[in-house]
């Protein structure tokens, strides 16, 4: 199959590649660019394990062709840490509030929560729950994920930190 | 300069030992996308395998034409049963003593059964190849309804064993019969029923569902022809068992097989068994000489690997008029699908279902389980469950509610009246178990107090009256469940998998600087072993948890173990850790005695080292003792500080809990709201309360899903009608209720640290609690038992059936 040239900015670096037109973005990220943080959990756009940030939107990368991302600005979990190398408030929050267990949904969940907090910096619990409804978790029951996002929201807005997870 | 001597509290805190809410070490990599899961494994020249699967639930396979597939660019090989027969692998043994087709051998027995394995240069080419394989079928009559399986004219499914009327668990009485398994005293039970004042009899079904971890089953097999060595990375909850099975099947010597279970994206029982994908990837790697990856997609996962439950339980309770139970009789029709691939200890064809007397003091009981074949996927895995204890808990907890309703007694009061009492432990149940410890009344009373049980019932009474007056269209249900689990398989006298005793193991090496590594026979899939196991060691030998690395999942370095499922890690491997640590401590004590020039008996343990009794300033820390163990051991003592323990538990452990659910249901729409869910768990000694709470949240969420809609459903010709996340209910953050957790602590008397295991309790106790809430809501309108799952539509149907829709 004839390959196409694509160029995208992934986690701050310009990347050029040749891809088959049918290659899904998740496979391009994981297999060509070796960014194995985003995962594949369902193949039908339900689980959100493959969530990345693309041009300022949360996108399920299993449902986008790599060629559709030509020219896009992409952030994956690998690009979430702060420029100085410290962890993002969400990465810290997920650990502090025990917002993960097997870790498989975590990269997608954190990247989604990152966009959610850009859209709504101080979300209510209901807004958080609705905001992450496109990301499934089989381990945590979401309760501590909600707390992790609240932790990060508080930290990012300079509010006093909550207590860590029970 | 004054150097502050740390206080005892500071020394204790520094260890981050048992009881502390230690933050997880795993999270550091997972939150940065640096986990290493099977699909992340990438080897030079790696090929990719994908399955051609059956469109039919029951059909003869007349012809498999791979000629077009082999012309597809990138396709290298198409493996069929004929190929596998050349290496004697067309069929494989199951964990339950049956055999299972690896690839369709003449016929298919369930929809999406594996027919051919296409090997190609990448996953896209493999998928192209799958599309191009042409299969010619001749369809056969399909058996879906378990209740019709044993009819004289039921279709013959298993032609391979049609003349073999004795199976792994005794005689078979029909061509679709697998086994009959009975426990308890039939005559005494029948006699008790004959003279009973009140009896109930109900068919209580626990529908077919699926564990569906977020990561599906997958593996990479790499065979090195020169060395004759096989390496397999896979989603294995029990890596050593996979190694042994792979050796027995492939005839590759076991020391030349390296099984690696890297990070696993959830298991919940799905990843215990051996699947055709593993066998095919291994064979493909041997044939091609290249590494071969197989990754299941979600539809394949839901429809082909390892369903759970599918038990139809006819449950009878006998009781006196004043509410004392006198006998329990249960018959189970167990739908195992096309092959008996249940993941139970080999001697237990229905797992530990005989825990079905639950938390109650039944003087006599009798249980019969009939296993049967149908045209459905094989499996019968323990989905967040210790081998059918979830089914048992559902059966008894529903039946107890039904009996309470018939007696006109309050469901909580009825339970309190029949609990095994604290002074009866260790308690011998009528179906053969010895419950280690429990204090049911204390737990139940604490839970009732916490939820305000009396007030809830008063509110419910008012709402019922208002409903009857036509003032509201909402009804209120109060669900109760008081479960007793049986976990920690298990004692070698009665627990083995294919002859391998179900011990577990730990090896600890303390390095000269006082840091340590512990290697385990178990395998975490999210349970946080790297964090909690280190806490046990920290408390036992006084090395800070941060200085201890826990390693699992590499069969070359880990001591042999049976893996993680059935809540066995803490009860079995957790005990092995303590025993290994105590061996280390004993040697350290000898070294300390030598260094301090006292007798060993003159030393006492103090948080992180030994001190001389009465002379606390004369002491040696474990860190100092580790250095001495290597560099200046006492004369005659060999250097080094390490130990291995293989722990064969003397008994199972019996965690328990009291759960309450308050639910409001709109009878016009069937929409329910979980107003409150309270879970009190007693898992004995608590190692890391944060992780326990997290596990309870997760298990309750899975229980919520199962009770309220999560079902694998077949139509009458054996098609799975909800085989993707589009239709299979996985709750999102929006539907998931909020959880309240609580606890009591009743340590296990036979476990070295008193811990019992907790990961599965919320699933075991949660399902009956939700279902009892729905049933309780409708009970005043005359219902007796409403089958799960209770999705909005089915609840609406119940209301409609009651004539509530005018």
Dist. CA B491–CA B502, nearest whole Å: 7
Decide if B554 contacts B574 (C-beta within 8 A). Answer: no
Decide if B438 contacts B656 (C-beta within 8 A). Answer: yes
Residue B115 lies in a domain: yes
Chain segment B402-423, per-residue pLDDT in tens? 999 999 999 999 999 999 999 9
- Is the Cβ pair A138, B691 closer than 8 Å? no
Closest by Cβ to A103, choosing from B212, B263, B268 = B263
> By C-alpha distance, which of B697, B711, B708 is closest to B759?
B697
Query: Does residue B5 register a pLDDT over 90?
Result: no
Query: Does residue B427 register a pLDDT over 90?
Result: yes
Number of Cβ pairs < 8 A linking chain A and chain B = 190
pLDDT given for residue B115 in this prediction: 98
Q: Predicted confidence band at A159 (pLDDT cuts at 50, 70, 90)?
A: confident
- Supply the CATH number for residue B61's domain: 3.90.1170.50
Q: How far is CA A58 from the centre of its chain?
A: 7
Closest by Cβ to B689, choosing from A44, A76, A166 = A166
Going by the DSSP 8-state scheme, the letter that residue A161 receives in this structure is P
Residue B160 lies in a domain: no
Q: What is the mean pLDDT of residues B725-745?
A: 97
Q: Which of B647, B667, B702 is the last residue of a domain?
A: B647
Query: Does residue B171 register a pLDDT over 90?
Result: yes
Q: What is the mean pLDDT of residues B480-508?
A: 94
Q: Is B730 on the interface with A (CB under 8 A)?
A: yes
- Is the Cβ pair A31, B214 closer than 8 Å? no
- Is the Cβ pair B212, A38 closer than 8 Å? no
Q: Is A137 on the interface with B (CB under 8 A)?
A: yes
Q: Which of B647, B678, B695 is the last residue of a domain?
A: B647
Q: What is the mean pLDDT of residues B215-229?
A: 98
Dist. CA B706–CA B212, nearest whole Å: 12
Provide, as residue numbers in chain A, all residues whose Cβ is less than 8 Å from the Cβ of B694.
Answer: 98, 101, 139-140, 144, 165
Q: What is the mean pLDDT of residues A30-34?
A: 97
Residue B237: active-site member: yes
Q: Predicted confidence band at B498 (pLDDT cuts at 50, 70, 90)?
A: confident
Residue B463 lies in a domain: yes
* HEC string for B635-675: CCCCCCCEEEEEECCCCCECCEEEEEEEEEEECCCCCEEEE
Chain segment B270-314, per-residue pLDDT in tens? 999 899 999 999 999 999 999 999 999 999 999 999 899 999 999
| Six-digit token string for B506 | 């730990």
pLDDT given for residue B660 in this prediction: 98
Residue B186 lies in a domain: no
Sign of the alpha-carbon dihedral angle for B282, B286, B292, B297: negative
Q: Is B265 on the interface with A (CB under 8 A)?
A: yes
- Is the Cβ pair B526, A139 closer than 8 Å? yes
Same domain for B54 and B26: no
Which residues touch B80 (CB under 8 Å, ≥6 apart)? B64, B66, B103, B104, B115, B116, B117
Residue B174 lies in a domain: no
Chain segment B516-568, per-residue pLDDT in tens? 999 999 999 999 999 999 999 999 999 999 999 999 999 999 999 999 999 99
> By C-alpha distance, which of B407, B419, B417 is closest to B200?
B407
pLDDT given for residue A161 in this prediction: 62
| Six-digit token string for B392 | 């048992």
Beta bridge partners of B681: B657, B743
Same domain for B49 and B25: no
Residue B374 lies in a domain: no
Q: What is the mean pLDDT of residues A64-88?
A: 97
For B699, half-sphere exposure in the C-beta direction (CA atoms, 13 angstrom radius) is 31
Count CB neighbours of B368 within 10 A.
Answer: 17
Decide if B310 contacts B342 (C-beta within 8 A). Answer: no
pLDDT given for residue B289 in this prediction: 96
Going by the DSSP 8-state scheme, the letter that residue A69 receives in this structure is G
Dist. CA B528–CA B724, nearest whole Å: 28
pLDDT given for residue B3 in this prediction: 73
Q: What is the mean pLDDT of residues B151-157?
A: 98
- Supply the CATH number for residue B701's domain: 3.30.365.10
Provide, as residue numbers in chain A, all residues whose Cβ is less than 8 Å from the Cβ of B27.
Answer: 94-95, 100, 103
* SS3 state at B719: coil
Q: Report the b/e string of B771-782 with b at 16+ CB within 10 A.
A: bbbbbbbbbbbe
Q: Is A44 on the interface with B (CB under 8 A)?
A: yes
Dist. CA B227–CA B341, nearest whole Å: 33
Where do we find the tokens 């309450």?
B660
pLDDT given for residue A43 in this prediction: 86
Q: What is the mean pLDDT of residues B56-69?
A: 98
pLDDT given for residue B2 in this prediction: 64
Same domain for B705 and B598: no
Q: Is B528 on the interface with A (CB under 8 A)?
A: yes
pLDDT given for residue A162 in this prediction: 58
Query: Does residue B737 register a pLDDT over 70?
Result: yes
Sheet containing A57-60, strands listed edge to edge, beginning at the edge strand earlier in sequence = A13-19, A4-10, A73-75, A51-54, A57-60
pLDDT given for residue B406 in this prediction: 98
Same domain for B671 and B641: no
Closest by Cβ to A39, choosing from B265, B691, B699 = B265
pLDDT given for residue A1 in this prediction: 73
Domain count, chain B: 3
pLDDT given for residue A166 in this prediction: 52
Same domain for B716 and B740: yes
Residues B444, B450, B455, B459, Cα dihedral to 10° = -100
Dist. CA B526–CA A138, nearest whole Å: 10
Average pLDDT of chain B, as a whole number: 97
| Six-digit token string for A64 | 């986008």
Same domain for B247 and B101: yes
Same domain for B293 and B261: yes
CA distance readout (Å), B498 to B98, B255, B347, B692? 11, 19, 9, 32
Query: Does residue B267 register a pLDDT over 70?
Result: yes
> By C-alpha distance, which of B699, B730, B679 is closest to B526?
B699
Provide, as residue numbers in chain B, all residues whose Cβ is less than 8 Å from the Cβ of A102.
Answer: 213-215, 263-266, 525-526
Dist. CA B241–CA B222, nearest whole Å: 18
Provide DSSP, B432-445: S-EE----HHHHHH
Dist. CA B83–CA A39, nearest whole Å: 33
Going by the DSSP 8-state scheme, the letter that residue B487 receives in this structure is B
Chain segment B603-657, per-residue pLDDT in tens? 999 999 999 999 999 999 999 999 999 999 999 999 999 999 999 999 999 999 9
Same domain for B289 and B224: yes
Angle, CA B735 vertex, CA B758 and CA B768 arms, to 5°: 45
Q: Is B734 on the interface with A (CB under 8 A)?
A: yes
User: Is this complex's ipTM strictly greater than 0.95?
Assistant: yes
- Is the Cβ pair B694, A43 closer than 8 Å? no
Q: Of all residues in chain B, what percent carry a pLDDT higher than 90?
A: 97
Query: Which of A 104-123 lie inside 8 A of B, CB atoms?
Result: 104-107, 110
Query: Does residue A163 register a pLDDT over 70?
Result: no
Q: What is the mean pLDDT of residues B89-116?
A: 96
Chain segment B12-56, per-residue pLDDT in tens? 999 999 999 999 999 999 999 999 999 999 999 999 999 999 999
Q: Is B673 on the interface with A (CB under 8 A)?
A: no
pLDDT given for residue B1 in this prediction: 53
Average pLDDT of chain A, as a whole number: 95
Query: Which of B 117-146 lie inside 8 A of A, CB atoms?
Result: 123-124
Q: Is B235 on the interface with A (CB under 8 A)?
A: no
Q: Which helix (H) or strand (E) holds B288?
A: helix B276-288
Residue B118 lies in a domain: yes
Structural domain including B480 reads 389-489+652-801
Q: Is B736 on the interface with A (CB under 8 A)?
A: yes
Same domain for B632 and B716: no
CA distance readout (Å), B283 to B49, B93, B684? 11, 16, 45
Residue B385: active-site member: yes
Beta bridge partners of B27: none
Span between the terminal Cα atoms of chain B, in Å: 87
pLDDT given for residue B343 in this prediction: 85
Provide, as residue numbers in chain B, all residues whose Cβ is less than 8 Å from the Cβ of A36.
Answer: 33, 36-37, 39-40
Same domain for B787 and B682: yes
Same domain for B707 and B601: no
Same domain for B703 and B643: no
For B195, half-sphere exposure in the C-beta direction (CA atoms, 13 angstrom radius) is 6
Q: Which of B280, B303, B326 is the last residue of a domain?
A: B303
Residue B550 lies in a domain: yes
Query: Which of A 5-24 lie inside 8 A of B, CB atoms?
Result: 20, 22-23
Query: Does residue A22 register a pLDDT over 80?
Result: yes
Provide, as residue numbers in chain B, all residues whose Cβ is less than 8 Å from the Cβ of A106.
Answer: 30-31
The C-alpha of B237 sits at a distance from chain A's nearest C-alpha, in angstroms, of: 13
């Amino acid at each position: 199959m004839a390959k196409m040239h694509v160029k995208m900015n992934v986690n701050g670096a310009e990347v050029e590649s040749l891809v088959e037109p049918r290659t899904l973005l998740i496979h391009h990220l994981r297999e060509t660019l070796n960014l194995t943080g985003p995962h594949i959990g369902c193949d039908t756009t339900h689980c959100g394990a493959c969530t990345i940030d693309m041009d300022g939107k949360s996108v399920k990368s299993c449902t986008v062709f790599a060629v559709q991302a030509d020219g896009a600005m992409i952030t994956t979990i690998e690009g979430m840490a702060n420029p100085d190398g410290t962890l993002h408030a969400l990465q810290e929050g997920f650990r502090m509030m025990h917002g993960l267990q097997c870790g498989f949904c975590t990269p997608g969940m954190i990247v989604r929560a990152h966009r959610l907090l850009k859209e709504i910096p101080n979300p209510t619990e209901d807004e958080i729950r609705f905001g992450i409804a496109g990301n499934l978790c089989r381990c945590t029951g979401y309760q501590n994920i909600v707390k992790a996002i609240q932790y990060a929201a508080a930290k990012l807005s300079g509010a006093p930190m909550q207590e860590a997870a029970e | 300069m004054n150097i502050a001597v740390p206080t005892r509290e500071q020394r204790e805190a520094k260890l981050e030992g048992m009881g502390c809410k230690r933050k997880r070490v795993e999270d550091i990599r997972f939150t940065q996308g640096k986990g290493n899961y099977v699909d992340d494994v990438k080897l030079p020249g790696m090929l990719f395998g994908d399955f051609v699967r059956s469109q039919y639930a029951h059909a003869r396979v007349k012809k498999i034409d791979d000629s077009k597939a082999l012309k597809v660019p990138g396709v290298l090989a198409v493996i069929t049963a004929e190929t596998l027969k050349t290496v004697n692998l067309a069929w494989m043994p199951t964990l339950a003593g049956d055999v299972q087709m690896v690839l369709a051998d003449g016929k298919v027995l369930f929809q999406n059964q594996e027919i051919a394995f296409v090997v190609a240069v990448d996953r896209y080419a493999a998928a192209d190849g799958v599309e191009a394989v042409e299969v010619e079928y001749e369809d056969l009559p399909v058996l879906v309804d378990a209740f019709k399986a044993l009819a004289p004219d039921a279709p013959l499914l298993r032609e391979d064993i049609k003349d073999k009327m004795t199976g792994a668990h005794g005689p078979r009485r029909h061509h679709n019969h697998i086994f009959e398994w009975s426990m308890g005293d039939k005559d005494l039970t029948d006699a008790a029923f004959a003279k009973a004042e009140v009896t109930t009899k109900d068919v209580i079904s626990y529908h077919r569902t699926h564990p569906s971890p977020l990561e599906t089953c997958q593996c990479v097999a790499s065979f090195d022809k020169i060395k004759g060595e096989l390496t397999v990375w896979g989603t294995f909850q029990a890596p050593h068992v996979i190694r042994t099975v792979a050796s027995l099947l492939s005839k590759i010597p076991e020391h030349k097989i390296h099984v690696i279970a890297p990070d696993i994206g959830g298991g919940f029982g799905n990843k215990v068994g051996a699947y055709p994908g593993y066998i095919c990837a291994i064979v493909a790697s041997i044939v091609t000489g290249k590494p071969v990856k197989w990754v299941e997609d979600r539809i394949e996962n839901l429809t082909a690997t390892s369903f759970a439950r599918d038990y139809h339980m006819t449950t009878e309770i006998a009781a006196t008029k004043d509410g004392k139970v006198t006998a329990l009789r249960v018959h189970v029709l167990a739908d195992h699908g096309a092959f008996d691939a249940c993941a139970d200890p080999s001697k237990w064809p229905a797992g530990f279902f005989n825990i079905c007397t639950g938390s109650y003091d039944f003087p006599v009981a009798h249980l019969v389980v009939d296993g049967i074949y149908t045209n459905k996927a094989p499996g019968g895995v323990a989905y967040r469950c210790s081998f059918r204890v979830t089914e048992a808990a559902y059966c008894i907890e529903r039946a107890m509610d039904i009996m309470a309703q018939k007696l006109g007694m309050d469901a909580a009061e009825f339970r309190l009246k029949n609990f095994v009492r604290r002074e009866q432990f260790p308690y011998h149940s009528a179906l053969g178990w010895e419950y280690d410890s429990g204090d049911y009344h204390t737990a139940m009373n604490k839970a009732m107090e916490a939820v305000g049980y009396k007030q809830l019932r008063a509110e419910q009474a008012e709402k019922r009256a208002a409903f009857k007056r036509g003032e509201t269209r909402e009804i209120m249900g109060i669900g109760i469940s008081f479960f007793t689990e049986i976990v920690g398989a298990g004692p070698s006298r009665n627990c083995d998998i294919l002859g391998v005793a179900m011990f577990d193991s730990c090896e600890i090496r303390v390095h000269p600087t006082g840091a340590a590594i512990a290697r385990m026979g178990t395998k975490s899939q999210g349970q946080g072993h790297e964090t909690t196991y280190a806490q046990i060691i920290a408390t036992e030998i006084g090395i800070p948890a941060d200085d201890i690395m826990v390693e699992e999942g590499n069969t070359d370095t880990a001591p042999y173990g049976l893996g993680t499922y059935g809540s066995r890690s803490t009860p079995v491997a957790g005990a092995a850790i303590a025993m290994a640590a105590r061996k280390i401590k004993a040697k350290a004590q000898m070294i300390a005695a030598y260094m301090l020039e006292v007798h060993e008996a003159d030393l006492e343990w103090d948080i992180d080292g030994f001190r001389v009794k009465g002379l606390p300033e004369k002491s040696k820390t474990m860190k100092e003792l580790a250095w001495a163990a290597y560099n200046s051991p006492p004369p005659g003592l060999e250097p080094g500080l390490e130990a291995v323990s293989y722990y064969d538990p003397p008994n199972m452990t019996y965690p328990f809990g009291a759960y309450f659910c308050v639910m409001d249901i709109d009878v016009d729409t069937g929409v329910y709201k979980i107003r409150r869910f309270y879970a009190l768990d007693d898992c004995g000694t608590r190692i890391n309360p944060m992780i326990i709470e997290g596990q309870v949240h997760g298990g309750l969420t899975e229980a919520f899903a199962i009770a309220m809609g999560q079902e694998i459903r077949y139509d009458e010709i054996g098609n799975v009608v909800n085989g993707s996340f589009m239709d299979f209910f996985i709750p999102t953050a929006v539907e998931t209720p909020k959880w309240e957790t609580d606890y009591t602590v009743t340590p296990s008397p036979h476990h070295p640290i008193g811990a019992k295991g907790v990961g599965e309790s919320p699933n075991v106790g949660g399902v009956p609690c939700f279902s009892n809430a729905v049933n309780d809501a409708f009970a005043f309108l005359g219902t007796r038992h409403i089958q799960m799952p209770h999705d909005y539509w089915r609840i609406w149907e119940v209301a409609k059936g009651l004539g509530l829709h005018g």
